Amino acid sequence: MELGDLRRVALFDGLTDAQLSELAGGADEVAILPGRDHFREGEPADHWWVLLDGSLDLLRHSGREDVVVGRMDVPGRWAGGFRAWDEHGTYLATGRGARPGRLLRVPAELLHDRVQDWFPLAVHLIRGLYGTARSIESTARQRDALVTLGTLAAGLAHELNNPAAAARRSVDALEQTTSSVLSSLARLARAEISAEQFLRLDALRSQARPAEGPHDPLAVADREDALAEWLQQHGVEDPWGLAPPLAAAGVDLAWCEEAAAQLPGPALGDGLAWVASTAATAHLLAEVREATDRVSALVSAVRSYTQMDRASRQRTDVAEGLESTLVILGHKLHDGIEVVRDYDRDLPPIEAYPGELNQVWTNLIDNAIDAMGGSGRLRLTTRAGETHVVVEIGDSGPGMSPEVAARAFDAFYTTKDVGQGTGLGLDIARRIVVDRHGGAIEIQRSDAETVLLVRLPR
């Protein structure tokens, strides 16, 4: 390589011939071939590339396409070399040949050593600048993660509070109903009913069946009124207090007549009180079971969502991850949002990092919910392609403009109000889908909905 070629590059103004020869001695001249990738986005930036002539396109991968984000077409333009300042530095874009020419390829280690010798202050400045930029990005990502974690924790606490409070109310009521069961049994014993009479009463109790399906409030009120009047006519104490639990247990007037035939006299009221309190106890126990089942389901969903006690990479059911994410975000799925599921039940599991994919689903579903403003249709679809598993998350919100869609995956780009977004959600989703899983993510728009389409290798 002739020093005259390098002297024509303004970037090297200020270097002596000896310094320039020292730099060139450890570097290579690389021919630019149109269409050839000389360095790739995300790979370690082990070399510093300086354009001598020709041109190089800089591309970022977005969805299924490589988007040109810049061009090196002026001698002296450079890219990479970040490992001269940071051992974890990677290329920010892919350098693809556009027009034949030449590149100077300098190892990052050589660049560091020479600049350290020639301009030690510059090394400190560059390292500090690079470290500050990485720190700002890292802090912003951590803040976004903490905000998301806080939101999810608050939502989960809300979801857990409802069944927990219901279970507590039912347990408090059980204390009263169990006391009523015992006191009514004691009164029946004092009334000296026979064992045969009690067995017949218990058989009647088991025959009563609560009505299934939705209840008509007016029909329930009429049934309670009729039972209260019958109880009052037969001299039963507290008829208006006994009528509601008896009606809820499925008792009707014909049942009451049969009970009166089995327990004549004062024992009738005690027997009906026992039946009513027993039925109420069973109903409350069912409520406790339903509430604790809900808590158990939430805990199970959290375990699935966080992939606790599981290997980081494993065979993964995509639909299971979507469902656990819906549970975690349940506090945001208000009555005005309709969730439509269209899962391919024959979809094969894929090799993936399920914990990271759940982060993708959280970002995409949360964005879709926000876009609809509390009312609309959220569609979740899974299907199998020839080489990929496809996941679609669609919302019926107002959609994105072409300008917004073009920048949606850029780091720190957000359309939300100040304090409501950091612009990292879709950038993180892209990194996980593209870099970690070798898949693709893209935005599809139509008049009916906006769809985030994710492809993951089978």
Cβ burial, residue 1 (10 Å; 0-12/13-18/19+): middle
Strand-pairing partners, residue 389, are 384, 456
pLDDT class of 49 with cuts at 50, 70, 90:
very high
Does 324 lie in the same domain as 273? no
Does 102 lie in the same domain as 163? no
Does 167 lie in the same domain as 280? yes
Residue 8 lies in a domain: yes
Residue 148 lies in a domain: no
Cβ burial, residue 53 (10 Å; 0-12/13-18/19+): middle
- In this prediction, residue 92 carries a pLDDT of 83
- In this prediction, residue 50 carries a pLDDT of 92
Does 175 lie in the same domain as 47? no
Residue 141 lies in a domain: no
- In this prediction, residue 339 carries a pLDDT of 92
- In this prediction, residue 422 carries a pLDDT of 41
Beta strands in 6-77 (DSSP E): 28-32, 37-39, 47-62, 65-72
Does 190 lie in the same domain as 253? yes
Give per-residue pLDDT as tens, 240-268.
888 888 888 888 888 888 888 888 777 88
Residue 184 lies in a domain: yes
Residue 209 lies in a domain: yes
Beta strands in 268-365 (DSSP E): 314-316, 337-342, 350-352
Does 261 lie in the same domain as 323? no
Does 293 lie in the same domain as 319? no
Instruction: Look at residues 278, 229, 236 and name the one whose alpha carbon lies nearest to residue 253.
Output: 229
Q: Which residue among 297, 326, 361 closes a domain?
A: 297
User: Which residues neighbour 378 within 8 Å (Cβ) at sequence distance 6 or greater?
Assistant: 333, 337, 338, 339, 340, 365, 368, 369, 372, 393, 394, 395, 396
Max CA separation in the chain (angstroms):
122
Tell me if residue 63 falls in helix, strand or coil. coil
Does 334 lie in the same domain as 256? no
Domain holding 114, by residue range, is 3-118
Does 449 lie in the same domain as 336? yes
**Mean pLDDT, range 339-357, rounded to an integer:** 89
Q: Which residue among 243, 273, 297 closes a domain?
A: 297
Top mean pLDDT of 27-41, 198-212, 275-289, 315-329 is at: 27-41
Strand-pairing partners, residue 379, are 340, 394
436 DSSP 8-state letter? I
Question: Per mean pLDDT, which range of 60-64, 171-175, 305-309, 424-428 is the poorest?
Answer: 305-309
Does 453 lie in the same domain as 315? yes
Q: Residue type for 230, please?
A: W
CA atoms of 34 and 413, how far apart (whole Å)? 32
Does 199 lie in the same domain as 265? yes
The domain that holds 67 is classified in CATH as 2.60.120.10
Higher local confidence (pLDDT), 393 or 150: 393
**Mean pLDDT, range 55-65, rounded to an integer:** 76
Does 254 lie in the same domain as 339? no
Residue 219 lies in a domain: yes
CA atoms of 2 and 46, how far apart (whole Å)? 24
Residue 266 lies in a domain: yes
Instruction: Look at residues 46, 52, 4 and name the one whose alpha carbon lies nearest to residue 30.
Output: 52
Alpha helices in 191-238 (DSSP H): 195-207, 217-233
User: Are 411 and 424 spatial neighbours (Cβ–Cβ below 8 Å)?
Assistant: yes
Give per-residue pLDDT as tens, 360-416.
888 899 889 888 887 899 999 999 988 899 999 999 988 888 888 888 887 666 666
Domain count, the chain: 3
